[in-house]
């Protein structure tokens, strides 16, 4: 394929009998994916990008109906850090995402109704396992690097740990080895906002829109954790959305309140509340040491592998020390581990904003490792 607007291929694959960490199984799983470039037969040029919580498989290129805007565009394409002239970049839509892969929105063939809250609880390891099965089904067994940010970083590291013989290197951006209590607390408050909305109806709100207010409120809290105090101060400080409004009346709003309102409304227009519940719970269950004898023993699978950990200086959701821990423990276990940092006031979202720094970090790493 030639031309920047033609290099994205979106397709889907169905896999049978996916076993989960919980001991449960999903009889049939649909996986939607996007591919940019062509894979080498030995997988030596394949970069698997794992997307974040409310992102999708649509990494780059023009708008696609029904999908959010491309979120990794400045890094994917001819001549970019993930250069599709020589690399094949693949992104598989996560389980429990509303953008095509199996989720609570999907119809359970056994009942003829949406799974809703009967869908099994999943972990990042389950997501990686499903993606691995999908990759094999399309003929891609080995990958040069699993790379992801935030929830995607948790999935990327699970690819490397679960399939060390097939994954040569790993890139973890703004993600920890396990979820710490404060992040779990943020997620629980978000879920409470959804669960306490009467329109949630126990999750059985399909085909309706569901808990609009609850989902919007959940996202508003999330947006606070995605930015930093420096960012909020620098953008608005105490500015009012309408300078002519009387700030002593309830109808007036600070600019930061309007910002949160906007993002609350935006998520309702494109995301599903049950999917939000399942994905935040999957994040809570992230622990690379679970079932592997602890974190340090788990990282032994990365011996002689290349590991890149990228933290963010102002991240309050997954502080930089948690990402440093990835590099430290991987290095201690024999991996060739490096830590880099995005210096930004943009908080956790810096990996989706400060592309110039991430581009430089990835190019340098790829040059060092011959990718």
Q: Are 326 and 318 in contact (CB under 8 A)?
A: no
CA atoms within 13 A on the CB side of 265: 6
171-192: b (≥16 Cβ within 10 Å) or e: bbbbbbbbbeeebeebbeebbe
Q: Single out the catalytic residue among 315, 333, 345, 349.
A: 315
Question: Which of 150, 169, 228, 314 is flagged as catalytic?
Answer: 150
Cα Rg, the chain, nearest whole Å: 20
Residue 146 contacts residue 309 (beta carbons within 8 Å): no
Reply yes or no on whether 315 is catalytic: yes
DSSP string, 340-366: EEE--SSGGGGGGT-HHHHHHHHHHHH
Identify the residue whose tokens are 């290099």: 7
Q: How big is the chain, counted in residues?
A: 371
Order of strands, edge to edge, in the sheet holding 88-92? 8-19, 25-36, 88-92, 46-50, 145-149, 169-173, 306-312, 336-342
User: Can you say whether the dihedral through the CA atoms of 284, 170, 56, 102 is positive or negative?
Assistant: negative
> Is 90 within 8 Å of 33 (Cβ atoms)?
yes
List the catalytic residue out of 97, 169, 348, 349. 348
Place of tokens 């991996």: 335
150 is catalytic: yes
* Three-class SS state of 25: strand
What is the bridge-based pairing of β-strands 169-173 and 306-312?
Answer: parallel
The rounded distance, in Å, linking the Cα atoms of 105 and 108 is 9
- Asked if residue 34 lies in contact with residue 90, where contact means CB atoms within 8 angstroms, the answer is yes
Task: Name the residues annotated as catalytic.
Answer: 150, 315, 348
């Amino acid at each position: 394929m030639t031309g920047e607007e033609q290099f994205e291929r979106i397709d889907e694959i169905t896999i049978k009998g996916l076993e989960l960490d919980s001991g449960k199984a999903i009889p049939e799983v649909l996986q939607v994916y996007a591919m940019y470039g062509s894979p080498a037969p030995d997988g030596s040029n394949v970069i698997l990008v794992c997307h974040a919580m409310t992102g999708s498989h649509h990494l780059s290129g023009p708008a696609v109906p029904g999908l959010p805007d491309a979120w990794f565009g400045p890094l994917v394409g001819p001549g970019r850090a993930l250069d599709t002239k020589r690399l094949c970049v693949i992104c598989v839509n996560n389980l429990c995402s509303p953008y095509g892969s199996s989720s609570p929105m999907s119809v359970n063939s056994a009942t003829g109704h949406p799974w809703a809250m009967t869908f099994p609880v999943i972990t990042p390891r389950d997501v990686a396992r499903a993606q691995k099965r999908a990759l094999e089904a399309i003929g891609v067994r080995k990958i040069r690097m699993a790379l992801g940010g935030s929830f995607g970083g948790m999935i990327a590291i699970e690819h490397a740990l679960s399939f060390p013989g097939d994954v040569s290197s790993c890139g973890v951006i703004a993600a920890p080895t396990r979820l710490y209590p404060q992040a779990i607390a943020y997620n629980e408050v978000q879920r409470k906002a959804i669960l306490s909305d009467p329109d949630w109806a126990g999750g059985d709100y399909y085909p309706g829109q569901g808990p609009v207010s609850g989902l919007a409120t959940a996202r508003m809290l999330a947006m606070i954790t995605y930015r930093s105090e420096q960012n909020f101060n620098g953008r608005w400080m105490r500015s009012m959305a309408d300078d002519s409004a009387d700030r002593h009346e309830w109808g007036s709003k600070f600019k930061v309140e309007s910002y949160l309102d906007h993002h609350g409304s935006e998520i309702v227009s494109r995301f599903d509340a049950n999917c939000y519940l399942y994905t935040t719970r999957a994040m809570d269950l992230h622990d690379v040491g679970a079932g592997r004898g602890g974190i340090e023993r788990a990282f032994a699978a990365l011996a002689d592998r290349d590991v890149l950990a990228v933290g963010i200086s102002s991240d309050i959701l997954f502080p930089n020390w948690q990402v440093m821990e990835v590099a430290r423990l991987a290095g201690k276990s024999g991996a060739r581990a490096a830590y880099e940092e995005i210096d930004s006031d943009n908080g956790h979202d810096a990996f989706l904003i400060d592309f110039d720094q991430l581009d430089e970090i990835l190019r340098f790493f790829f040059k060092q490792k011959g990718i």
